[in-house]
Structure 1
């Protein structure tokens, strides 16, 4: 029996968690409860699972409904932010509307040939929200994303729904390759969109695998979405994995999602990784994969690679397990 959670304003989750300043926050922005078709968990169970997975925030993204928006007010605290959202399941691709108004429902009754997607993206943006192309290569009808990425703020390159024992599947590999191929042109035009990873949780044990780690000015809806929009984020298979990426030149430094002015000189890119035993770290630029090195058996290591803005328009990192499955990946540092 599904609880009638209601839609009273007092039940909506707050948009900010007090006392949580600038920092890296872990979150899963694509989760479903019993209020979505196929969902088997109550909001209470999802909140418990999010905390157990080491998450700081989640987004409620039921299919084409706002029914769960009022379910979360009593479930948050000083350790969990809940972002109000929706998954719009159109006939030719699904997308996430994150940070919309409580009770707002985004229309989903169209397909790519109707030329209506821009109207609905604008409605989300007017509400201060973020638009994410969801699981672009999902292996089922309507799940494959047929719209252009133009107008979207982020692309879900890693979706955990179809994982069984392994959370990295062929559709994720295809989504990552598609996003990666467009980075060089998009960065040059200053219109690049960030990569996200979400669980698309429907069942117990799925939440947080994977999730997105965001640098935000505070733990709030606005600050978290701003960090994602700017690409100040990376994707982790689980909270046991830690990663940092910095580039430096001329006594200047830049982190993930930022731009480094190299002054036409050399740049040193440094990545620190923990939690991927015997894994492989690879450096990717507009020339593709340019360098790789293995991590020790204990999974912890610090690696450096030298380049320049002339050689590389950007640098991003992938960390894979020995079998080739993804453990973590970053958005780029842009070089100029």
Structure 2
């Protein structure tokens, strides 16, 4: 790593074939024919007997950028239509390197994934916690670990649930903060959460970007400068929230990690070394340089008062619009060629802004890609 670059962290069973009927609190009950590893002696507020689980690491995969969808549902969730094997096949077809399985308020499918992971797909165990006043994702759970969901914002129980996940080494993500349905709007403070899902593909009928995502992005962006100046910022991530065929990976998060393993992927997300892509067709590289020093997404560049140049290279967004955003708002905007490939630059300074980030939109205005910030000092 070049001198002057500082990595800044944002926040310092028994297998049976049966018909499963699941009540998910504020969600309607659902049933599905499902070949799952159903743990016995389940404890809905703690841990069940540990089921068979997928490996936490794919051997032989070192440092690099990995594409992952961290919000995925199978038939065991309300509205889910795909089996785990169908989801695994769809993830591979979408060009993903990893997924996180996040059923609503249950981890009963954890044991179904051991045989579906492989040297080309990492499966991270998780859960979507659907409380009365907002949903959140627990990523990196132990096999069979269940996080309680039976509370609302008035009960003052969210902190203990988040702490439970953190004690297990997991990651906590505020999910779809402005989802337009009962219990979907996230009413808790982001304090204590590791990341915010600003882009959720589930609720857009025609495009994986809508007004709810726009509101979530604006809310996250408004607080970014304050959070960075106070040494505690939360990265943005994007997920498909896939329930139906054709949804997985739209969008997904591209993470810089030391390897294709659970701990490394979650560490990359936690540190903000990531960007969000509409699909695997979108490619992006974003760096900041000053003199002989440079930094990438989620890193801090010490400029020593020198002018800095932000450079982004993009492929896969024909006639798209690229915007460089700082504390001053959108400071520079430029259009990509019709073939969708281009390299653009913008001058920034630590005196004017503590960060710079990128948004890439299609001509109609919906998002194609966005990055977490690079920090300046």
> TM-score if structure 2 supplies the norm length?
0.88
Give runs of aligned pairs for residues 162-201 of structure 1, distance below 5 A. 162-201=203-242
Q: Give CA deviations for 1:56-93 in whole Å, capped at 9, x if unaligned.
A: 00000000001011010000110000000000000000
Q: Give the 3 Å change call, closer, same or farther, for CA 267–105 of structure 1 in structure 2.
A: same
Q: Match of 1:114?
A: 155
Moved more, 281-290 or 200-209: 281-290
Shift in Å at residue 31 of structure 1? Answer: 0.4
Q: Match of 2:171?
A: 130
Shift in Å at residue 2 of structure 1? Answer: 1.8
Aligned partners of 2:359 and 2:370 also within 8 Å: yes
Q: Is the counterpart of residue 5 in structure 1 residue 37 in structure 2?
A: yes
Aligned partners of 2:51 and 2:143 also within 8 Å: no
Q: Is the counterpart of residue 263 in structure 1 residue 295 in structure 2?
A: no
Query: Which of 212, 232, 242 is the matching residue for 2:283?
Result: 242
User: What is the rounded CA distance, in whole Å, between the counterparts of 1:49 and 1:281 in structure 2?
Assistant: 30
Q: Is the counterpart of residue 97 in structure 1 residue 156 in structure 2?
A: no
Helix, strand or coil for the counterpart of 1:118?
helix
Aligned partners of 2:35 and 2:112 also within 8 Å: no
Unaligned runs of 5+ in 1: none
Aligned partners of 1:10 and 1:73 also within 8 Å: no
Q: Give CA deviations for 1:168-191 in whole Å, capped at 9, x if unaligned.
A: 010000000000001001111111
Unaligned runs of 5+ in 2: 1-32, 40-48
Shift in Å at residue 10 of structure 1? Answer: 6.8
Aligned partners of 2:51 and 2:110 also within 8 Å: no
Give runs of aligned pairs for residues 203-242 of structure 1, distance below 5 A. 203-242=244-283
Shift in Å at residue 3 of structure 1? Answer: 1.7
User: What is the rounded CA distance, in whole Å, between the counterparts of 1:198 and 1:181 in structure 2?
Assistant: 21
Shift in Å at residue 9 of structure 1? Answer: 5.5
RMSD: 0.9
User: What is the rounded CA distance, in whole Å, between the counterparts of 1:35 and 1:307 in structure 2?
Assistant: 48
Q: Match of 1:155?
A: 196
Q: Give CA deviations for 1:294-328 in whole Å, capped at 9, x if unaligned.
A: 00000000001011100121000000000000000
Q: Who wins on radius of gyration, i.e. which is larger? A: 2
Aligned partners of 2:105 and 2:130 also within 8 Å: yes
Shift in Å at residue 6 of structure 1? Answer: 3.2
Helix, strand or coil for the counterpart of 2:37?
coil
User: What is the rounded CA distance, in whole Å, between the counterparts of 1:77 and 1:200 in structure 2?
Assistant: 22
Shift in Å at residue 113 of structure 1? Answer: 1.0
Give runs of aligned pairs for residues 272-283 of structure 1, distance below 5 A. 272-283=313-324
Aligned partners of 1:319 and 1:329 also within 8 Å: yes
Aligned partners of 1:27 and 1:58 also within 8 Å: yes
Q: Give CA deviations for 1:81-110 in whole Å, capped at 9, x if unaligned.
A: 000000000000000000011100000011
Q: Is the counterpart of residue 143 in structure 1 residue 184 in structure 2?
A: yes
Aligned partners of 1:209 and 1:237 also within 8 Å: yes
Q: Is the counterpart of residue 253 in structure 1 residue 285 in structure 2?
A: no
Q: Give the 3 Å change call, closer, same or farther, for CA 20–10 of structure 1 in structure 2.
A: farther
User: What is the rounded CA distance, in whole Å, between the counterparts of 1:190 and 1:14 in structure 2?
Assistant: 34
User: What is the rounded CA distance, in whole Å, between the counterparts of 2:76 and 2:263 in structure 1?
Assistant: 25
Q: Match of 2:43?
A: none
Q: Match of 1:298?
A: 339
Q: How many aligned residue pairs are there? A: 336
Query: Which of 333, 353, 375 is the matching residue for 1:312?
Result: 353
